[in-house]
Amino acid sequence: MSYRKPYAEGEAIDTADRSSSSAHSTHQDEKGGAIETARRQSVLEGEVVHLAEKLDDQNVKEHLAPIEDLEKVIDKIDTLTIEECRTFAVKFLEDHDFDYNIDASQRSKLQHFLNGPLESQSDDEFELAFKSEVAILKYYSPYPEVRAVTTPDDDENILCETIRAHLLGYLWACVAQFINSLFNSRFPNVYLTSTTAQVLLYPCGKFLAWALPDWGFKIGGVRHSLNPGPWTYKEQVLSTVIINVSVTSAYVFWNIQTQEVYYLDKWLTPGYKILLLLATQMMGLGFAGLLRRFAVYPMESIWPTILPTLALNRALLQGDKKETIHGWKISMYKFFWIAFGAMIVYFWLPGYLFQALSLFSWMTWIAPNNFNLAIVTGSQTGLGFNPISSFDWNTFSTNFFPLTYPFYSYLQQYIGQFIGGLVILALYYTNTKDTGYLPINSSRIFDNTGAHYNITKILVNDVVDEDLYKAYSPPYYAAGNLVVYSIFFLFYPFTMVFVLLDSGKILGKAYVSIFSAAWQQMKRAGRSSIAAAKALGQGKIREAASHLYHILDDETSVYDGFDDIWTNMARKYPEVPDWWFAAVAFISFIFAIVICTVYTEMGTPVWTIFFVIGLSLVFLVPSTYLYSISGTTEGLNVLAELIVGYALPGRPEALMFVKAFGYNITGQADYFVSDLKMGLYAKIPPRAMYRGQMISAFITAFVAYGVVDLVDGLEGICTPDQTAKFTCANGSSVYFSASVFWGAIGPARVFGQIYPIMKYAFLLGFLLAPVWWGIKRYGPTARQSMRTKMPGAIFKPLDLLIFTPISYLKQVHPSLILNGFIYWAPVNLTYTTSGLYVSVFFMYYVRRYKTAWFEKYNYVLAAALIGGVALSALVIFFSVQYNPVTVSWWGNDVLATGVDGGAADRTALLMDLPERGYFGLETWE
């Protein structure tokens, strides 16, 4: 048996000195009960240190939580009894039995505590160790990731919702939306992350705190000043949340760009664009309110993607005490600025001066004209099977975030992507569905001669003309895109069924809570309406108005059913009623109906809005919950385009409209919900969050409108040779391809003639999910049953071949493996392999064996690298790429040579077409 040390190596003397000094100072300054409390805490800290020293003498490898975590709950340790600890541990193990973010060592440690003390351990030492562990889990967090960026207390008096916090938030939200919309068409894209915005926000806040006068006014008896005091942590977080709402380019940017650049629509008016932007951006906020019980308040929803943001805010404004952690003495603040500055300088190498470091396809450079080598190992036209594939953080953190995603999430997605690559190779080299005539991993669609599909040859007034279609060609996907879309169709039903089964206890409690709240709301509304009618009948107008005013008040709380430190701290602030969010969703719904009825050129009936909302309600909960525990999920865009393609064949622009809502309802809701979790961790008043998110989404919709008009006027926009890389390869090019394939051509043709087998992916998803879940959940029970009933000679080989592999499924989330399959066309393993090494080291080794270092520095490092790359990329673009200043030497020119660089004559496995002059179907309808 082993326990974690309660502090990092070398901390004991410093901590003891601090504890002694603190206790001595307290004895001098405090009286009565305060003296006794301080004395007991000092003694308890000393006992913790003594325990740590004893465990250290025993060369224990597994550590208790770091001493800084224990210090935050030190006052709770003495209040716990052993029986309370046992009860808590049993319930914790039961509740978190299938929690992917609780590793096996944590469960094993608690189980050892339940088994009692070691022979070499005194009862006092055992009790202290057990109580310390339970105090961390109960009064703080069981997740080191969360403890790394939060504190288990709240000061309500810290400034939060100030005038300057709102103004700075909206200013930088507009800047972020402008920059990210500007680069939205570039591949690989660069963007202003929330991390970079935070770095720039921080000095702005400090400056305003120094420069602005203390001028103010009162509203409702509360004074609001331009400068109420020093810039605070809560102000910084609130401004960050306001920025986060709009830091990602509006999804319908691609709608508008595709309509203007590819379909050459002339009817798009400013009114259409603004209504589309507002409807899609705001509807996600409305749905976010429904998700709070499912993906904000459950403790299991840690939201890995927001942790670097919180870590940076902490480093900038809260600081940290001086201590030595595994030989590191540097403060988080200084560590951030060093790493941030180093990355700004370093990124000039892969980003401009030595671009081969970015796509380090070293094997293809050995034999640049070897087609097969380029296809397998190449970084540009190939699949990137290359163990040393990139030295560019921007490249290998494009899709998966190695310092943010939990290790299990990164590894399982990488495994899925790796297997997907093997499947693509198999399809390609067997020429399955004529993929051998096309580039292996392109996101574009092609005609039956291997040329890019020319949609204008088959459209008349944006509708497919059957005669023109027959005279031209069906569309064909490259091997990479075949795998991507097939797995998309499998992913949706599988994830919905599996997540609901796998996390049914957590989600079931949330469903009960929300339906109970809705029922109470309806009863209250009914009673108030009756009372108002009676009062009105009696001529009591004021009383009737009062009843109507309180018609939506009820006795329930959004926190009902939750009892943890974060929701308990949030209860002291006024909560946001569900109907506030519902009102935003309803207004957005009205905007969507206006678009369908006024802009008839799209050919989109009103019923499609009802359909996409219903579709979102079905899939929203499981997909968002997956996002909240793993850091990744998929939107409903592909599923929406498939169903609408069946319902409205030959209407690509109608499909794009519905697809945008299908993605944005879930996508924007996920962004809003993750920010709500950030606010919960940072103890931001919920109504301040609501106001900031809503206003930011409204303002930046107009910024996005201005930028899309600007970008679509660039010379050569969305062409492969665009000088500044505004090729739209991973943006509107994919969007256009999908609109042609599923909208203009339609899934009936695709499944009926071109790729009939793809439709069975849906059925496979529905069938596979309960089978996988059943094996995972009941496999251990079957194993134990057979162990007791079967002779050992029969059981042992069965155990080795069947039950042992099944036991590994407990920590495997199959939706993540499927999600990895989707990361192809045009990306490949080049964009993830180097990140895997980073994840193994930091998210597995350091997190498990150097927990104190991980909690203090890991997410600060993540924020520094992300922010440094983003800021450096912006400087490079505007200084030497917008008006190109080329640096021609081997380290840059090698990327444009050979097969992988697109300089060879051979672009596909099969270059000679069949005798009839085209491949694929002989005839098509």
What is the three-state SS of 52-111?
Answer: HHHHHHCCCCCECCCHHHHHHCHHHHCCCCHHHHHHHHHHHHHHCCCCCCCCHHHHHHHH
Q: Give the pLDDT score at 426.
A: 97
In this prediction, residue 727 carries a pLDDT of 86
DSSP state of 577: P
In this prediction, residues 452-474 reach a mean pLDDT of 85
**Region of poorest pLDDT, from 41-50, 194-203, 809-818:** 41-50
Q: Which residues sit opposite 452 in a β-bridge?
A: 446
Cα–Cα distance, 188 to 185 (Å, whole number) = 9
8 pLDDT band (50/70/90 cuts)?
very low
CA nearest to 302, candidates 427, 431, 144: 144
DSSP character at residue 249: P
Query: What amino acid is encoded at 182 in this protein?
Result: L
- Element (DSSP H or E) covering residue 594: helix 578-598
Q: Name residue, tokens 């009914």.
A: 526
How many angstroms separate the CA atoms of 248 and 242, rounded? 12
Which pair of tokens denotes residue 907?
Answer: 């672009």
Average pLDDT over residues 382-389: 96
Rounded distance, CA 695 to CA 167, Å? Answer: 11
687 contacts 576 by C-beta, under 8 angstroms: yes
pLDDT recorded at residue 41: 55
Q: Are strands 463-464 and 459-460 parallel, antiparallel or unpaired?
A: antiparallel
3-state secondary structure of 135: helix
Better pLDDT: 318 or 88: 88
CA dihedral 387, 391, 397, 402 (to 10 degrees): 70
Q: Is 740 helix (H, G, I), strand (E, B) or coil?
A: helix
Q: How high is the pLDDT of residue 167? A: 95
Distance CA 349, CA 69 (A): 39
Q: What pLDDT score was predicted for residue 217? A: 86
DSSP one-letter string for 360-407: --HHHHHSTT-HHHHHHH-SSSS----SS----HHHHTSSS-TTTS-H
pLDDT-derived band at 350 (thresholds 50, 70, 90) equals very high
Q: Tell me: the pLDDT tens digits for 172-221?
A: 999 999 988 888 888 767 677 777 788 889 999 999 999 999 998 888 77
What average pLDDT does range 374-380 have in this prediction? Answer: 96
**How many other CB atoms sit within 10 Å of the CB of residue 900?**
29
What the block records as the tokens of 341 is 């500055």
Distance CA 749, CA 771 (A): 32
pLDDT at 843: 96
Tokens linked to 88: 């808590």
Alpha-carbon separation of residue 320 from 434, 444, 564 (angstroms): 60, 50, 25
Render 104-158 in DSSP notation, one character per residue.
HHHHHHHHHHHH---TTS-HHHHHHHHHHHHHHHHHT-S-HHHHTT--S---TTS
Which comes out higher in pLDDT, residue 5 or 203? Answer: 203
SS3 720: coil
In angstroms, the CA 844 to CA 368 distance is 37
The mean per-residue pLDDT over the stretch 321-333 comes to 87
Mean pLDDT throughout 758-768?
93
pLDDT computed for residue 66 by the predictor: 67
pLDDT of residue 336: 94
Residue 444 carries which DSSP code? S
CA dihedral sign of residues 344, 346, 348, 352: negative
**Residue 24 pLDDT greater than 80, yes or no:** no
Report d(CA 70, CA 566) in Å as an integer. Answer: 18
Q: How far apart are CA 685 and CA 114, in angstroms?
A: 39
Averaged pLDDT for residues 431-442: 95
Residue 561 has a CB neighbour count (10 Å cut-off) of: 16
- For residue 498, pLDDT beyond 80: yes
pLDDT at 42: 61
- 917's CB contacts (< 8 A; 6+ apart) are 449
The amino acid at residue 676 is: L
The answer to whether the CB of 166 falls within 8 A of the CB of 692 is yes
Element (H, E) at 40: helix 32-57
**First-last CA distance in the chain:** 70
Alpha carbon distance 172, 191 (integer Å): 13
Least trusted range by pLDDT, from 308-317, 713-722, 858-867: 713-722
- pLDDT of 47 reads 57
pLDDT for res 25: 43
Residues facing 217 on adjacent strands = 224
> Among candidates 186, 48, 87, which has minimal Cα distance to 718?
186
Let me know the angle formed at the C-alpha of 405 by 690 and 850, rounded to the nearest 5 degrees: 115
Structure-token pair, residue 402: 């190695």
CA distance 173 to 194: 9
CA distance 602 to 224: 48
Other beta carbons within 10 Å of 896: 12
- CA 316 to centroid of chain Cα atoms: 23
Q: Per-residue pLDDT for 698 more than 60?
A: yes
pLDDT of residue 423: 97
Q: What is the DSSP letter of 575?
A: P
Query: Do 87 and 57 meet the contact criterion of CB atoms below 8 Å apart?
Result: no
What does each C-alpha distance from 207 to 215, 429, 652 come to in angstroms? 16, 61, 50
- pLDDT surpasses 70 at 747: yes
Whole-number percent of the chain with pLDDT over 70: 92
For 255-323, the DSSP string reads HHHIIIIIS--S---HHHHHHHHHHHHHHHHHHHHHHHHHHTSSTT---GGGHHHHHHHHHHHT-----
* Rounded Cα gap, residues 124 and 117, in angstroms: 10
CA angle, 517 then 518 then 524, to 5°: 90
Retrieve residue 210's tokens. Answer: 């120094």
The pLDDT score that the predictor gives to residue 27 is 44
Cis geometry, peptide bond prior to residue 142 (ω within 30 degrees of 0): no
Please, is 691 exposed, middle or buried when counting C-beta atoms within 10 Å of its C-beta (0-12, 13-18, 19+)? Answer: middle
Write the burial class of residue 501 (CB in 10 Å: 0-12 exposed, 13-18 middle, 19+ buried).
Answer: middle
Taking the CA atoms of the chain, what radius of gyration do you get in angstroms?
Answer: 29
For residue 547, which amino acid is it?
Answer: H
Whole-number Å distance between alpha carbons of 454 and 153: 61
Helix, strand, coil distribution of the chain in percent, nearest 5: 65, 0, 30
What average pLDDT does the segment 763-783 reach? Answer: 93
Helix (H, G, I), strand (E, B) or coil at 459: strand
**pTM to 2 decimals?**
0.87
Amino acid making up residue 64: L
Q: Which of 664, 677, 673 is nearest to 588 (CA)?
A: 664
Mean pLDDT of the residues in the chain: 87
The confidence score (pLDDT) of residue 64 equals 52
The C-alpha atoms of residue 244 and residue 250 are separated, in whole angstroms, by 12
